[in-house]
Amino acid sequence: MGKTIAEKIMSRASGKDVSAGDLVTAKVDLHYNLETGIADIHKRLIQAGLPDGLPAVADPDRLAVMIGDHEGCHGKPKDAAAYKLSRELAERYGIRKVYDINTGVAHAAVTEEGLVRPGMLVCAKDSHTTTCGGVNALGIPVSEVETAWIYATGELWFRAPESVKIICGGTLQAGVVSKDIFLAVIGKYTPSMAQYKSVEWGGEIIDRMGMDGRLTLSCQAIELGAKCSPFEPDQTCLEYVAGTPRGNEPYQPAPADRDAVYERVYEEDFSDLEPQVALPHGFGTVKPVSEAAGVDIHQCNLGSCANGRFDDLEIFAEIVKGRRVKARTIFSPATWKIYTRAAKSGILATLAEAGVMIQAPSCLDCGGRGSCIADGEVAMGATTRNFLGRFGAPKSDVYLASPATLAASAVMGKIADPRDFI
């Protein structure tokens, strides 16, 4: 019997023949600690009775420290102190993969830098670690306690997940992008469709999709309940990895076998798919833009590990070019490399001329730490989530959509269809 991507990677990492449902101890190929994670764990270990934290780590070459992605620059003295401690701990433990505040969002940077490569088992202390699946890795979110165990032993126990596959057929209309596919899927099948499952994506739309779109889908798969969301290591994936700074380091691609067994296969034709909008609060109600159009929007937020990549900026800029936004609009690129590329291409100038506020690469647009709205206001995000209070105010409404729908809505000051601008 053939194996799914998750079964293959778990088998390789554990040294055993693994099937879905098995409990295994596996060696973690990479753990990346984002924001002040390494400092937070150090403090908890001291509270737990280790006077000076961990005496050593099992394998510093399998660890990375990504500083400042959630808060960006040092917003408060306590942030600066935590960043300082993070740098000191990385040096103490011999961790050489240290990326500082001029890197950007960790989940975007780890693939862009080639830290995550096909076939790897990767963990991090954040739910959107599933993003790593875009490059055929298993990206699995873990807790602080599990992180400490990985630091100490280099291993962790896992239950190998069952796998589901989403086949995306047809051809997308202009103005419809990967975010709309995700919203359509979660709207139809609910946020519990893939609880503790590995979600694989396939079909002719995926075959034609670039890496930015795939990384959006693997990122957003966590909202389906997914434990991980690996893509196939096809030519698009392998060429992307080869172009990263660490693309020449060893890796072992893990394609699913043709006779792999899935718990369920979902087949969808997205040829007639409209741009989608998730209504407040969360993903319980998703509607085509034609059924949500006309709602007044005070603020639009663009960015995050879901929608801060170059393709997202490109379609947003295409729509706002030569126009002025009516809604307050704030943009944070996912990484400094994306920021630099956007500057060189002229996209940043286009956004600035349209009245868009441009922030440093970070998570500030997404999690209520920055780019907040007030009680009674309505926002739209091309970000990861629209939960109650996600943009800071508990008595506000947040809609979620694609960068294209966000751009059209920013220009109009109300929810609008991007196909009218393309």
Confidence of residue 392 (pLDDT cuts 50, 70, 90): confident
d(C-alpha 352, C-alpha 11), whole Å: 49
Evaluate if pTM is beyond 0.95. yes
Summarize pLDDT for 116-153 with one digit per residue, the tens.
Answer: 999 999 999 999 999 999 999 999 999 999 999 999 99
Out of 243, 266, 289, a domain closes at 266
d(C-alpha 358, C-alpha 324), whole Å: 15
Of 56-65, 182-191, 317-326, 371-380, where does mean pLDDT reach its minimum? 371-380
Q: Residue 1 has what pLDDT? A: 82
Average pLDDT over all residues of the chain: 95
Confidence of residue 393 (pLDDT cuts 50, 70, 90): confident
Summarize pLDDT for 80-108 with one digit per residue, the tens.
Answer: 898 999 999 999 999 999 999 899 999 99
Are residues 262 and 285 part of one domain? no
How confident is the model over 336-353, as a mean pLDDT? 97
Are residues 236 and 283 part of one domain? no
250: in domain: yes
399, 277 in Cβ contact below 8 A? Answer: yes
d(C-alpha 368, C-alpha 366), whole Å: 6
Summarize pLDDT for 153-164 with one digit per residue, the tens.
Answer: 999 999 999 999
Other CB atoms within a 10 A radius of the CB of residue 386 amount to 22
Out of 266, 299, 332, a domain closes at 266
Are residues 298 and 166 part of one domain? no
pLDDT at 373 over 90: no
Domain enclosing residue 219, as ranges: 5-266
Of 61-65, 116-120, 133-137, 363-367, where does mean pLDDT reach its minimum? 363-367
Q: Residue 405 has what pLDDT? A: 98
Are residues 257 and 129 part of one domain? yes
Question: Tokens representing 73?
Answer: 């620059």
Q: Residue 362 has what pLDDT? A: 83
117: in domain: yes
Question: Tokens representing 324?
Answer: 């002025």
Q: Residue 73 has what pLDDT? A: 67
Helix ranges restricted to H, 157-272: 178-189, 204-208, 211-220, 235-242
DSSP calls for 369-401:
SSS---TT-EEEEESS---TTTTS-TT-EEEE-
Phi and psi torsions of 292, nearest 5°: -115, -10
- Domain count for the chain, please give it: 2
pLDDT at 372 over 90: no
CATH of the domain at 391: 3.30.499.10
Summarize pLDDT for 37-51 with one digit per residue, the tens.
Answer: 899 999 999 999 999
Helix ranges restricted to H, 48-159: 77-93, 106-112, 144-153
Are residues 233 and 144 part of one domain? yes
Q: Residue 280 has what pLDDT? A: 96
Out of 231, 247, 266, a domain closes at 266
Confidence of residue 74 (pLDDT cuts 50, 70, 90): low
